[in-house]
Amino acid sequence: MVLVPAGLYPVGGGGEGVPWRDSTTVQLDAYFIDSAEVGVAAYRRYLDATRARLPWTQPPPDQWPATGVLWSEASVYCAWRQRGGRLPSEDEWEAAARGPHGFRYPWGNGWERGRANADSLRDGFAPAGAGSPGRSWVGAVDLIGNAWEWTAAVAPDARGQPGHVIKGGAFDTPSANATAAYRAVLPDRRAWLAHTGFRCARSVVVAPERAAAPTSVAVLYFETPDTATAYVADGLTEAIITSLGRVERLSVKSRNAVRRFRGAVDDPATLGRALGVAYLVSGSVGRPSRGQSPAVTVELLRAADGMHVWGSQYESRDTALQTIPQAVARAVATVITGALRPVERTALASRPPRDPGAYDRFLRANYELAQRTPRAVRRAIEQYESALRLDPGFTPALARVAVGYGLFLDWGWEYPGLSPEAMLSRGFDAADRALRQDSASADAWMARGFLLSFRNPRTFAGVREALQRALALDPRNAEAHHQYGMALLWLGRDSAAADMYRRALQLEPERPITLFNLGRVAARETRYAEARRWADSALAIDPGADYAYVLRAVAEFRLGNRADARADAETAARLRAGFRVPGEAVLALVELQAADTPAARARIERLERDIRSAGDQTITDAAWVGRALVALRQSDRALELLERVRPRGARLWYYLRAPEFDAIRSNPRFGKLVAESAPE
């Protein structure tokens, strides 16, 4: 490795790559970076030591750069190779290539054919480390050409799919794109990675490694050879995580934590170190035979040495699919903690659905609900309702139906053929039926609290009581803590909301939506650098979290970092999810600050037309476009737009507190809006 000293480094610039970023200067601490790309021989030693999955079907020559390696696999390799090992950030990669003068290439500002294995100089890879003519200022080679290289930076690709930034170009990259500033984004899919490799980095100061807690466990996502049973594998994994999470003596990694290591490596010691756990649960779901559920195999390993501690195989002729999560959780918890205490046995006791088909539909619906798109949530509701036709007493499915309708109301989505009032009515019907069947259902109480915030948008009457009941029934329910935090946030109790979010993160640290909302609290209190850090944390877990890009764009805008604000706002808009309009509204604010009023005006007018044509615009979209209209000095249009928002209530009041509205805060019409929306 070579040392890159601490200092100021120019990065970005030239509008190069998709998504591009403007020029800026960053302060970096000293760090080490590999002098060359990781080669096949080095990666093969790792494969032999860890039994990790081969990234290639035919072994390439040992001297070539190791390509075809997933981003997640490269991250694990770097951590395995040395303590503190990791992929370089995009800024670190550029600093190593461009130096303190910000050169276009490692050797200077002009393209010189022969300096790098790029622009089809040769028809394939050169040996890793052989590109000495293009050596950078710190002695690193092949930063340009040979193979693209992964960085730690998260970003969506041109189609809005989550991925990571790659740098440097490959042997066949045209010279125009083979610059140190150029960036591209790839998803973590092996078929796309034939020309992508990586190099590792580490900080000069590495924090000491902490021993894993003896009762810590991670449930790895179950494997399946059949894409048709992927929902079963994912559903069983997440059900076991949820069940184990109810045992207070266990420290259980969340689904977000383990998802990042899906398929990355088979070596238990490497995974145990990466996840910080003492035990690993792994499993597989077989191919189902005609009319039968698939066989399921589960194993508990001690992470330190990979020793098999417990295992079981569940055949459909002997074990109903719906009983497996509870059986596995009981067995794993007993092995790790010893004999279960009465309260733990109670926590793990729940009535599974009688009908295996109902549970199959429930797993399908959970898979859809997690996508958080209007079409997927609608399919989820339909699958839950199908499960209920097979087993009308299946309380968890009723609770999830209520949550599904709540999501439509929360995001302002249209449900074909249903008004918002009809969706609210159906949601309450499902929640109330669930509670009549099982008054101790924490999920049903949580769903009822969620829906009550729409029935009583100013008073939030009953919301607190329902959520407190959910938490009393299931104190380890991170989602219930998060929802309670949301209610407090809308009501203006920022400090109490932050406390509740932190409790959620204590139970499930890798929750991007909760990290985002802690950032919202920080931004509300003008702690913009802190808000940016919370957004960074959310995006490290979920690179496709458009809401976190908006938060970070706002933080950068407030801190005066116009280029970074623009880049993040454009990313949020490009993802075209729930926060497209807020992303574009921030872009308009950036354009106005840059005195590009015509561009801002055109953007704002288009957004205004879009949300007016949608009929019942969402509170979020109307509030963001209203901000932009005020900044454009179109106060009357902003007020007209905001006055159309229904229902008036705490959610609208929360958005009306934004500093962009300070310019019209004394306006009587605005004062009336605030008064009619303020929590009672």
Task: Count the residues in the chain.
Answer: 680
Of the candidates 582, 293, 558, 291, which has an alpha carbon nearest to the alpha carbon of residue 411? 582
Tokens 């015509």 found at: 598
Provide the pLDDT for residue 266.
Answer: 65
Distance (Å, whole) CA 549 – CA 565: 9
Provide the pLDDT for residue 17.
Answer: 56
Q: Does residue 475 have a pLDDT over 80?
A: yes
Residues in CB range of 527: below 8 A, 6 or more apart: none
Mean pLDDT of 471-476: 89
Return the biggest CA–CA distance within the chain. Answer: 76
- Which residues in 22-40 are b (16+ Cβ under 10 Å) and which e? bebebebeebbbbbbbbbb
615: confidence class by pLDDT, cuts 50, 70, 90: low
402: enclosing H helix or E strand: helix 395-411
Of the candidates 267, 447, 296, which has an alpha carbon nearest to the alpha carbon of residue 363? 296
Domain boundaries, the chain: 2-203, 216-352
Q: Does residue 120 have a pLDDT over 90?
A: no
Mean pLDDT of 419-428: 95
According to DSSP, the β-strands at 251-252 and 216-219 are parallel
pLDDT tens digits along 347-398: 887 777 778 888 889 988 988 887 777 888 999 999 999 999 999 999 999 9
Provide the pLDDT for residue 31.
Answer: 93
Distance (Å, whole) CA 271 – CA 615: 50
Q: Does residue 142 have a pLDDT over 90?
A: yes
Of the candidates 680, 591, 585, which has an alpha carbon nearest to the alpha carbon of residue 623? 585
Residues in CB range of 92: below 8 A, 6 or more apart: 4, 28, 31, 33, 151, 201
Provide the pLDDT for residue 404.
Answer: 94
Mean pLDDT of 468-494: 93
Number of H helices, E strands in the chain: 26, 14
Distance (Å, whole) CA 661 – CA 66: 53
Task: Choose the most confident range, by mean pLDDT, from 77-81, 252-256, 448-452, 570-574.
Answer: 448-452
pLDDT tens digits along 312-358: 988 866 567 888 898 999 999 999 998 888 888 888 877 777 788 88
Q: Does residue 190 have a pLDDT over 60?
A: yes
Query: With 0-12 CB in 10 A as exposed, 13-18 as middle and 19+ as buried, what is 604?
Result: buried
Distance (Å, whole) CA 616 – CA 420: 9
Residues in CB range of 616: below 8 A, 6 or more apart: 412, 420, 646
Provide the pLDDT for residue 350.
Answer: 73
Provide the pLDDT for residue 618.
Answer: 81
pLDDT tens digits along 482-529: 999 999 999 999 999 999 999 999 888 888 889 999 999 999 999 999
Task: Choose the most confident range, by mean pLDDT, from 54-58, 81-85, 478-482, 538-542.
Answer: 478-482
pLDDT tens digits along 203-212: 987 666 667 7
617: confidence class by pLDDT, cuts 50, 70, 90: low
Provide the pLDDT for residue 209.
Answer: 61
256 vs 115, residue with greater confidence: 115
Distance (Å, whole) CA 439 – CA 116: 69
For residue 213, how far is the Cα from the chain centroid?
A: 26
pLDDT tens digits along 19-35: 667 788 999 999 999 99
Provide the pLDDT for residue 637.
Answer: 95
For the domain with range 2-203, which CATH number is right: 3.50.50.60, 3.90.226.10, 3.90.1580.10, 3.90.1150.10?
3.90.1580.10
14: confidence class by pLDDT, cuts 50, 70, 90: low
Per cent of the chain over pLDDT 70 is 95
**Residue type, position 136, single letter:** S
For 304-311, the CB contacts below 8 A with 24+ separation are 304/268, 304/269, 304/272, 304/278, 305/268, 305/269, 306/267, 306/268, 306/269, 309/279, 309/335, 310/335
186 bridge partner residues:
164
> Domain 216-352 in CATH: superfamily?
TolB, N-terminal domain (3.40.50.10070)
What is the distance between the terminal CA atoms of the chain, rounded to a whole angstrom? 61
Provide the pLDDT for residue 405.
Answer: 96
pLDDT tens digits along 213-261: 888 999 999 988 877 788 888 889 989 998 898 888 999 988 878 877 7
Say if residue 647 is preceded by a cis peptide, omega within 30 of 0: yes
Distance (Å, whole) CA 137 – CA 142: 12
**Which spans in 205-308 are helix H?**
230-244, 255-259, 268-275
Provide the pLDDT for residue 347.
Answer: 80
Per cent of the chain over pLDDT 90 is 55
Q: How far is CA 71 from CA 163, 244, 263, 534, 636, in A?
A: 9, 29, 11, 23, 50
